[in-house]
Amino acid sequence: MAESSSRPLDLIMLEVLNESFVAIVREMRASMVRTAYSSIIYEGHDFSCALVDGRGQLVAMAEDNPVHIFPIPIEVGEMLERFEGDIHPGDVFLHNDPYTGGTHLNDVAMISPLFDGGEMTIYPVVRAHRGDVGGTTPGSISGKNTEIFHDGIRIPLLKVIERGKLNRAVTDLLFHNMRVPDERRGDFFAMLATCHTAHQRLGELAAQYDWATLIQAKESLLDRSEAPMRRRIKAVPDGEYVFEHFMDHAGHSLDPLRIRVRVAVSGDGLRIDFSGTDPQVRGAYNVGPAMAPSASFAVIKAFLDPHSPINHGAFRPLEIVTEPGSLLSARYPASCAGSMEVSHAVVTALIGAAGQMAPDAVTGDLKGTSNHFYIGGNDPRTGEAFLFYEYPAGGTGGFAEEDGNNATRNFTEGDFSSIQSIEVIEHAYPLQIKSLELRRDSGGPGFRRGGLGLRRVVAVLAGDALLSISSDKNIIPPFGVFGGGPGSPNRFTVLREDRTLMPSDTPGKVAGFRLGRGDRVVIETSGGGGYGDPLEREPERVAADVREGYVSPDEARGEYGVHLTGEEVDEEKTRACRQAMKDARRSLPLIQAETHRARGSRRLCSIGPDTAADLGLEAGALVELKGRPCAPLRAWIEIVQGHPEGQLGLDALGMAILQGGFGGSAAIRLLSGGVGG
């Protein structure tokens, strides 16, 4: 190793070292893909790698999942606290506990400290999704879990290798409590080899520059990422931006879950406060303390500072507040199996709030869920257990310049694959892919259309198998912005002979639904929300969408006001239709209710009975209200005798979200996917 004496760092050397750190992370990623046993890693890329420093600050990442990466500082802090004075060269730690910085139990982190002169330096952390970690159902994640024990085996911060010696008793205990243990064991050693690769490359870099220079560069890089984030925050007008998002339900009733966020900008700092979010639930849709900060950072970084390097410095200007015991900071024994759905819901809430403070950067809402999808059973070809797992992609939101992307990943998901290949699935599992196509009419209508979801049909060739699903936005769809329409909600059904079956009475939440040979599971993922008024979309672009099969002729007329003769636009009918549709639009005045209006977690919108009849709305109907801000407010209709007819009533918070105030108005749209209450 070179002599440990720092040298002056010019900008060129700093950039070289930054790219060297990122290159090491990318080599770690390549190592995982080449050596992992599970298709969800080598095909799905459901893993992430990072370099951190001795305090757990993120030094470098690459095309990784933000939700995997930003819990790491909490986990490393847990390691430093629990093993203070007992961390040595050759030690390796495992962790997946959501209450102390993990995500859900399937995501297992490996922390492998690297030392120089007795001090921890810069070292690797790998987090990889294990296809199964035990629990109630194959794959461990289902929409019906109610406590952490249903989620699988919980790993507190655990030293699995001590001074280079593997604790086989510990690994045997872990793998004996996981389905398909050979895959789990193979993925463990793939992670270990990846950490060794990072150690080797960091050692080579230190031999070239010395550790003191690397540490000095690391500090400069963190400071360099902090500065542009603060500049971008300072350019946002001081103020408070509030929004509210609803998840479908917790899997055991149809009561929605509320996530409320207030983003306060003051100078070059930003406070994100989730107070008012629902308490933790008896269901799978809770998270530990790491998830809300991770999702928050992903949105704020993407909206305000998308081009600067991602490291811990960019996180410093943010303060994240969650209430202990809420579903965003759950306590034992809450299940956290659906943590990724909650994380996506936080992203949606922040798109609504951040769109108010940075409207030039806003997009329509995303697919907004991981769509965890499992089929497990015994493979008749081998007699051994099999477990198929994937998370099919959906549409992204439209934005000012262009339509959303079809059936692809988004800025919150990193380098995950959009969907696993047919050849790999049919080779590895007793399954057959009957069809795979884009889902027509699923993208939210708008001046810029939301991206389409996909439709996939999976046939079961095994005699007996179990289906489990954890998904959101099956009832409450992704929203559009600036007048854009919502994307279609996610949908999962089973075709059995000539019947269509719903695998659960709570859409999107399925646990161990029994499948037989010949059953076909239909996956339909949501599209992204639209951007801008669909009646302003160029008629020829609508016609092109119809020719491509993205939009049906009925959708072209009903949402875009475009009439086609054959494949060509009928300009006269289109002009007349669009004008008639604009003339038929109604915005109703907003008035503030004297008291808080809610039923459980549902936000209520009060109207009179004549107005309800005129609009074709029933009590409990789910609607969205479009007011001054870019994103709509979702609410449930409350019909009140004596309420002023022709006016919409909201409480003070609802008025603040819509930014209407007295004298404001809102358009109202029935969401067909809604379930009343």
One domain, residues 549 and 632:
no
One domain, residues 631 and 560:
no
Tell me the percentage of the chain whose pLDDT exceeds 90: 85
3 state SS for 508-536: CEEEEEEEECCCEEEEECCCCCCECCHHH
Mean pLDDT of 189-211: 97
One domain, residues 128 and 34:
yes
One domain, residues 580 and 592:
no
- Tell whether 166 is covered by a domain: yes
Instruction: Quote the mean pLDDT of the chain.
Output: 93
- Residue 146 in tokens: 């109610």
The pLDDT value given to residue 3: 40
The pLDDT value given to residue 444: 98
pLDDT one-digit tens code per residue, 114-154: 999 899 999 999 999 999 999 999 999 999 999 999 999 99
| 162 φψ region: left (φ > 0), alpha (ψ -120 to 50), beta (else) | beta
Structural domains of the chain, count: 3
How far is it, in rounded angstroms, from Cα 90 to Cα 109? 16
Distance in Å from the first CA to the final CA of the chain: 68
Q: 602-607 and 633-639 as β-strands: parallel, antiparallel, unpaired?
A: parallel
- Tell whether 172 is covered by a domain: yes
One domain, residues 544 and 598:
no
Say if residue 676's pLDDT is above 50: no
DSSP-derived 3-state class of residue 486: coil
Strand ranges for 359-453 from DSSP E: 372-378, 385-390, 431-438
The pLDDT value given to residue 1: 36
Say if residue 593's pLDDT is above 90: no
- Tell whether 177 is covered by a domain: yes
The pLDDT value given to residue 229: 96
pTM tops 0.85: yes
One domain, residues 646 and 550:
no
Q: Provide the 10 A C-beta neighbour count for residue 118.
A: 7
- Tell whether 116 is covered by a domain: yes
Task: Specify the amino acid at residue 445.
Answer: P
The last residue of one of the domains, among 527, 559, 584, is 584
Say if residue 358's pLDDT is above 80: yes
Of residues 57 and 659, more confidence is placed in: 57
Question: Helices 211-234 and 11-35, interaxial angle, to 10°?
Answer: 100
DSSP annotation string for 113-165: --EETTEE-SEEEEEEE-S---SSSTTS--TT--SHHHH-----SEEEEETTE
> Which residue do the tokens 């696993």 mark?
420
One domain, residues 70 and 158:
yes
pLDDT one-digit tens code per residue, 436-486: 999 999 999 999 999 999 999 999 999 999 999 999 999 999 999 999 999
The residue segments making up the domain with residue 596 are 587-670
One domain, residues 116 and 84:
yes
- Tell whether 544 is covered by a domain: yes
One domain, residues 545 and 663:
no
One domain, residues 126 and 221:
yes
How far is it, in rounded angstroms, from Cα 582 to Cα 586? 9
Q: Which among 659, 595, 609, 594 is positioned nearest to 633, based on CA atoms?
A: 659
Q: Which among 523, 107, 97 is positioned nearest to 330, based on CA atoms?
A: 97
The pLDDT value given to residue 419: 85
Say if residue 417's pLDDT is above 90: no
- Residue 320 in tokens: 């994240």
One domain, residues 580 and 591:
no
Give the burial class of 643: count Cβ atoms within 10 A of its Cβ; 0-12 exposed, 13-18 middle, 19 or more buried: buried
| Residue 234 CB contacts under 8 Å (≥ 6 apart), including other chains | 267, 268
The pLDDT value given to residue 416: 78
